[in-house]
Amino acid sequence: MATDNGQVRIAVQLQPQHADYTDIRRAVAAAEEAGVDAVFNWDHFFPLFGDPDGKHFECWTMLAAWAEATERVQLGALVTCNSYRNPQLLADMARTVDHISARDGAVGRLILGIGSGWFKRDYDAYGYDFGTAGGRLNALARDLPLIKQRWAELNPAPTREIPVLIGGGGEKKTLRIVAEQAQIWHSFGDVETFTRKSGILDEHCAAVGRDSAEIERSIGVEADDPQADAAAKHAAGARLFTLGVNGPDYDLGPVRDLVAWRDEVNMQG
CATH class of 9-267: alpha beta
Q: Tell me: the pLDDT tens digits for 74-112?
A: 999 999 999 999 999 999 999 999 999 999 889 999 999
The pLDDT-based confidence of 4 (bands split at 50, 70, 90) is very low
Check whether 69 has a pLDDT greater than 60. Answer: yes
CB 236 within 8 A of CB 198: yes
Mean pLDDT of the chain: 96
Nearest to 243 by CA among 37, 94, 3, 101: 37
Task: Give me Rg for the CA atoms of the chain.
Answer: 18
Q: Give the domain ranges of the chain.
A: 9-267
pTM of the model: 0.95
